[in-house]
Amino acid sequence: MAGDTESSPEETLALAAEAGIHRVPLPTPFLVGRVNCYLIEDDPLTLIDTGPNSGKALDDLELALAARGHRIDDLELIVITHQHLDHVGLLDILVRRSGAEVAALDLLVPYLAAFSDSMDGDDRFAETLMRSHGVPGDVVVALRAVSSAFRAWGCSAQVTKPLRDGDQLVLRDRTLRVLHRPGHSPSDTLFFDERRGILLAGDHLIAHISSNPFVSRPLGADPDVERPRALITYIESMRATRELAAGLTLPGHGDPILDHRTLIDQRFAMHARRARKMLKLLRERPQSAYELAQAMWGNAAVTQAYLTLSEVLGHMDVLVRDGLAREVSGGGGVRFEATAS
């Protein structure tokens, strides 16, 4: 399938529909808005991602399936792109109603099997990280309460078809290559129909907003594990994705992407600009990651403290790697300072 940068989203979705892939946008309680699930009319009848665990999302999914002549009971395979609530929340309900197989990255299997415990480990990891990087205690407590409330949008579920990077998911009319592309989350998994040039990308690439590289607890790791370098990992993943011969990328949010290489290049340039801006701030004085987030995004550094903290830490990791900044621990917290170079 050749990409055409002049095509409208409707025309592009029509091309996907010709290939048997139908977008199903479902409501979420999150700022990102609707999540894109995808129905693949093939054998087995396949759903990519599920939407959050809400009655409204379930109703909308049932209506979308009915418009295609299907019911939830007809689903035979559910494929998960990554661990976030808006992509896995209805999984248990759908499996109980349909008996569908569940395919997901092998590293994600124990996480989904004990979802509440996994989320608790994530919250403890995030709390430690926020406190060590200057986020005020009252903000940490408030965000912990919000995260606990959000757990109701997810669910525990059993994966019956564990997938590894490089595997092939074979349907009757297509073969999807499994590509592990961590960065936005540790479990980000892409599914690539190489013959058609169609890439099902989850939240790895989104056209209208940049996919935030969340600093997440590595899958299966203790909450006290050293934090991963999420942005560096994400940039490496995007470099690998850039080499794919994808004419059409179907993201987890927003409109289809026809030129993934140009979008990735724009993301690289954006991250480079942000790193330079943060380096300029560091040259004024050493600062904590939370102070840098406040300087960059103002009040959003409070209301979306973990998102902005992840963004700052990602760019600090790049600056430290390149010898332009250093991380200094002491006095009950971590600060960053510019180097002489």
Mean of pLDDT values over 255-259: 96
Mean of pLDDT values over 311-320: 97
Beta strands in the chain (DSSP E): 21-26, 35-40, 46-48, 77-79, 101-105, 161-163, 168-170, 175-180, 189-193, 198-202, 248-251, 325-330, 333-338
What element of type H or E holds 100?
Answer: none
Q: Which domain holds residue 77?
A: 9-117+153-268
Q: How many angstroms separate the Cα of 314 from the Cα of each of 170, 234, 326?
A: 36, 9, 13
Task: Give burial (CB, 10 Å; 0-12/13-18/19+) of 123.
Answer: middle
Report residue 149's pLDDT band, with 50, 70 and 90 as the boundaries.
confident
Query: At residue 253, does pLDDT exceed 50?
Result: yes
Q: CATH number for the domain including 160?
A: 3.60.15.10
Helix, strand, or coil here: 54? coil
pLDDT in tens, 171-221: 999 999 999 999 999 999 999 999 999 999 999 999 999 888 999 999 988
Q: Note the pLDDT of residue 14.
A: 92
Query: At residue 6, does pLDDT exceed 70?
Result: no
Backbone angles phi, psi at 78, to 5 degrees: -120, 125
Report residue 331's pLDDT band, with 50, 70 and 90 as the boundaries.
confident
pLDDT in tens, 105-148: 999 999 999 999 999 999 999 999 999 999 999 999 999 898 88
Q: Which of 264, 208, 250 is nearest to 12 (CA)?
A: 250
DSSP state of 72: G
Q: Note the pLDDT of residue 2.
A: 43
Look at residue 331 and tell me if it is in a domain: no
Contacts with 262 (C-beta within 8 Å, 6 or more apart), sequence order: none
Task: Give burial (CB, 10 Å; 0-12/13-18/19+) of 188.
Answer: buried
Query: At residue 74, does pLDDT exceed 50?
Result: yes
Helix, strand, or coil here: 169? strand
Count CB atoms within 10 A of the CB of residue 37: 26
Helix, strand, or coil here: 287? strand
pTM: 0.94
Look at residue 26 and tell me if it is in a domain: yes
Q: Which of 3, 13, 20 is nearest to 197 (CA)?
A: 3
Look at residue 29 and tell me if it is in a domain: yes
Look at residue 317 and tell me if it is in a domain: no
Say how many domains are in the chain. Answer: 1
Q: Note the pLDDT of residue 5.
A: 53
Query: At residue 94, does pLDDT exceed 50?
Result: yes
**CB contact at 8 A, 166 and 227:** no
Q: Which of 162, 168, 214, 171 is nearest to 191 (CA)?
A: 168
Q: Note the pLDDT of residue 169.
A: 98
Instruction: Give the whole-angstrom CA distance, residue 74 versus residue 100.
Output: 8
Look at residue 78 and tell me if it is in a domain: yes
Instruction: Give the whole-angstrom CA distance, residue 191 versus residue 121.
Output: 28
Q: What is the mean pLDDT of the chain?
A: 94
Q: Which of 215, 317, 323, 229 is nearest to 274 (CA)?
A: 317
Look at residue 201 and tell me if it is in a domain: yes
Q: Note the pLDDT of residue 221.
A: 82
pLDDT in tens, 31-58: 889 999 999 999 999 999 999 999 999 9
Look at residue 243 and tell me if it is in a domain: yes
Query: At residue 300, does pLDDT exceed 90?
Result: no
Look at residue 256 and tell me if it is in a domain: yes
Mean of pLDDT values over 304-324: 96
**CB contact at 8 A, 149 and 48:** no
Query: At residue 3, does pLDDT exceed 90?
Result: no
